[in-house]
Structure 1
């Protein structure tokens, strides 16, 4: 657990889940829409974990998000690759 970061992570997680369920509830483009919404939520969580200093957990969320995306999701996959790099560069790029 991240010391002192629990409140922030909880807010981000709740926000991401709200966005996911809103997309699902609004009939987003079937299963593909659900996968995209979940991958975006996982990406947001990975970003937050990285900034909180928990790069191991961030990398796990990045891998989960990547598995949900199709090869045609190039921009999102490139963003995840950049985030993965930030997580493995020894803490560089943290705000």
Structure 2
């Protein structure tokens, strides 16, 4: 097995988390004051879980690349930053919606 293909197994999970974050962001932005299909706690929990699991996976990629003496995966690292940014944006949208 090629050493670089080990990291491609993590990419679908990152893509799944990005899709979940995008759906959560759309739901948080499109919520009306009168009709809330999902509350802020649920969106915050989903964002936090996605962020925590993505951070753990990035840490595991670092351990794998150190043990196998190969470079890390820059694509997975960029996907991790996308998950972080989307989580922060989700938290900000929820906070600003709650404030208004």
Mark the structure with the bigger radius of gyration. Answer: 2
